[in-house]
Structure 1
Amino acid sequence: MFSYRHAFHAGNHADVLKHAMLLHILDHLGKKDTAYTLVDTHAGAGIYDLSDDWARTKAESDLGVARVWHAAAGSSAPALVQRYLQAIQTYNEQGSLRWYPGSPWLALHAMRSQDRLRLFEMHPSEGEILAHNLNCLDSRQQRQTELRDTDGFGGLKAFFPPPSRRGLAVIDPSYEDKQDYKRVLQTLEEGLKRFASGTYFVWYPLVQRREVEAMVKGMRKLAPNEWLHASLQVNKPSADGLGLYGSGVFVINPPYTLAASLHQALPWLNKTLAQDSHNRHTLESGDNTRKKTTDDEDEASLPNHRTPARPQQRHPAARRPAVKRPPRRP
Structure 2
Amino acid sequence: MNYRHAFHAANFADVLKHAVLARILAHLRQKEAGFRVIDTHAGIGLYDLAGDEAGRTGEWRGGLGRVLDAALPAATSDFLAPWLAEVRAANAGPEIALYPGSPLIAAQMLRPQDTLVANELHPEDHATLAAVLGKDAKVMSLDGWTAVKSLLPPPERRGLLLIDPPFEQPGEFDRLARALTDAHRRFATGIQLLWYPLKDPQAVESFIDRVEATGIPRILRLEHWTRRVTPDGPLVAAGMLVVNPPWTLADDAKAALPGLTEALATGPGAGWRVGWVAGE
Normalization by structure 1: what TM-score?
0.79
Q: 1:271 — aligned with what?
A: 262
Gaps of 5+ in 1: 290-330
CA shift, 1:90, in A, is 1.0
CA distance in 1, matches of 2:233, 2:166: 15
Written as runs of structure 1 = structure 2, the 5 A alignment for 1:66-145 is 66-72=65-71, 76=74, 77-135=76-134, 139=135, 141=136, 145=137
CA distance in 1, matches of 2:70, 2:211: 34
CA shift, 1:210, in A, is 4.0
Deviates more, 1:204-213 or 1:116-125: 204-213
Residues 104 and 133 in structure 2, CA contact (< 8 A), matched pair in contact too:
no
CA shift, 1:209, in A, is 6.2
Q: 1:312 — aligned with what?
A: none
Q: 2:56 — aligned with what?
A: 57
Q: 1:9 — aligned with what?
A: 8
Gaps of 5+ in 2: none
Q: 2:166 — aligned with what?
A: 174
Q: Secondary structure at the match of 1:105?
A: helix
Q: Which amino acid aligns with 1:170?
A: L
Q: Residue by residue, what CA displacement relative to the aligned partner does 1:60-93 show, whole Å, maximum 9, x if unpaired?
A: 0000001001115x76443111222111111124
Match of 2:150 among 144, 158, 179: 158
Q: Could you say if the C-alpha distance between residues 235 and 21 of structure 1 is closer, same or farther in structure 2, counting changes exceeding 3 Å?
A: same
Higher helix share: 2
CA distance in 1, matches of 2:25, 2:279: 24
Q: Which amino acid aligns with 2:184?
A: L
Match of 1:259 among 238, 250, 256: 250
Identity of aligned residues (%): 35
Q: Secondary structure at the match of 1:250?
A: strand
CA distance in 2, matches of 1:259, 1:75: 18
Q: Could you say if the C-alpha distance between residues 175 and 209 of structure 1 is closer, same or farther in structure 2, counting changes exceeding 3 Å?
A: farther
Q: Secondary structure at the match of 1:118?
A: strand
Q: Which amino acid aligns with 1:282?
A: R
CA distance in 1, matches of 2:18, 2:153: 24
Q: 2:22 — aligned with what?
A: 23
Q: 1:214 — aligned with what?
A: 206
Residues 154 and 187 in structure 1, CA contact (< 8 A), matched pair in contact too:
no
How much is the aligned-residue C-alpha RMSD, in angstroms?
2.0
CA distance in 2, matches of 1:149, 1:209: 32
Q: Which amino acid aligns with 1:264?
A: A
Q: Secondary structure at the match of 2:57?
A: coil
Q: Residue by residue, what CA displacement relative to the aligned partner does 1:112-156 show, whole Å, maximum 9, x if unpaired?
A: 111111111111222121122223xxx4x2xxx111111121112
Q: Could you say if the C-alpha distance between residues 275 and 223 of structure 1 is closer, same or farther in structure 2, counting changes exceeding 3 Å?
A: farther
CA distance in 2, matches of 1:267, 1:222: 31
Q: Secondary structure at the match of 1:86?
A: helix
Q: Which amino acid aligns with 1:56?
A: G
Residues 25 and 109 in structure 2, CA contact (< 8 A), matched pair in contact too:
yes
Normalization by structure 2: what TM-score?
0.93
**Over alpha carbons, which structure has the higher Rg?**
1
CA shift, 1:175, in A, is 1.1
CA distance in 2, matches of 1:171, 1:287: 19
The reply to whether residue 248 of structure 1 matches residue 247 of structure 2 is no
CA distance in 1, matches of 2:42, 2:112: 20
